[in-house]
Structure 1
Amino acid sequence: MFFYKEDARGVREPHNDPLVITLTIEGFNTKKILVDNGSSTNIMYLLAFQQLKLDPGRLRPFDSPLVSFNEDRVYPKGIVTLEVTIGTYPKQLTRQLDFRVVDCPLSYNVIIRRPTLNRWKAATSTYSLKVKFPTKDGVSEVKGDQVLARGCYQAVLVAKEHHT
């Protein structure tokens, strides 16, 4: 899979925006999904879990803390397996993914991790704000939402201002 100049069409430059996409989770279009090539764990924030009206009984115990790069520790409420679809019919993938559900404020609903991207055989371009992945019907792609990404980033900055 290659990325071409045309893949960046519509992206406002210059930018250093995160790759934020929409996925279908348990049948619902879920926005504000951060694609993080550096993260090792899929994360779902408790508020997103609740907004999807998922049964809390689906949460399985998970006792290990998640440790961020600044050594903060967050203990998940549990782990849940959910059906996730990337792409649009017929060029789409549907897989069962595990998410650590955490109760802490963040402007994203979900973070998709590097091992999931590898499982999808996905290639990402932060420059083009795009994810490409093979399906049985050919290569598909999902374009990031630059406006939403900038809004999420602004929300993070505002939250940091209030905590310092």
Structure 2
Amino acid sequence: MTRIDNPIVEFSKEDARRLHHSHDDALVVSIRAGDYNMHQVLVDNRSSADILYYPAFQQMGIGKERLVPTNAPLIGFGGTRVYPLGAVTLFVTVGDYPQQITKDVAFLVVDWSFDYNAILGRPTLNS
């Protein structure tokens, strides 16, 4: 069997063309981020940023000194501007051995309340 080193999972509009169900359910996964198993991670193809919510950041035991300052606001949280507390880069593993991928992901840490612990945007999974 051929081993795929860098699998990409994507679905196009063409893939959904013959479906008779009107689904718009979110894709929610579990990942390994750093040394932490994180559940409730939203995969959002429309997001251009990878977001880590501050409560999850705190639970991971990462010190604030690891945050790299950033001053670019995020827009889209209910139409308001949110300024990240900073950015942190973590090794992220998605999938189970042998079908897994590990990458460095630069998360913007946001002090905002949300139903998910993190958001993985489109560039994370495809690049």
TM-score, with length taken from structure 1: 0.62
1:67 is matched with which residue? 75
Shift of 1:16: 3.1
1:117 is matched with which residue? 125
1:91 is matched with which residue? 99
- 3-state SS of the aligned residue for 2:26? coil
Shift of 1:27: 2.3
The count of aligned residue pairs is: 110
- 3-state SS of the aligned residue for 1:82? strand
Q: Deviations over 1:7-42 (max 9, x none)?
A: xxxxxx875321000000112210000000000000
TM-score, with length taken from structure 2: 0.79
Give 1:1-164 correspondences, 5 Å limit.
15-68=23-76, 70-119=78-127
Q: Deviations over 1:94-143 (max 9, x none)?
A: 11110000001001000000111221xxxxxxxxxxxxxxxxxxxxxxxx
The RMSD of aligned alpha carbons is 1.9
Work out the CA distance in 2 between the residues paired with 1:76 and 1:37: 20
- Aligned amino acid, residue 99 of structure 2: K
- 3-state SS of the aligned residue for 2:56? helix
Greater share of helix: 1
Q: Which runs of 5+ in 2 are unaligned?
A: 1-8, 12-20
Q: Deviations over 1:68-117 (max 9, x none)?
A: 17531000000000010011112211111100000010010000001112
- 3-state SS of the aligned residue for 1:29? strand
Residue 71 to residue 53, structure 1, CA distance change in 2 (3 Å): same
1:136 is matched with which residue? none
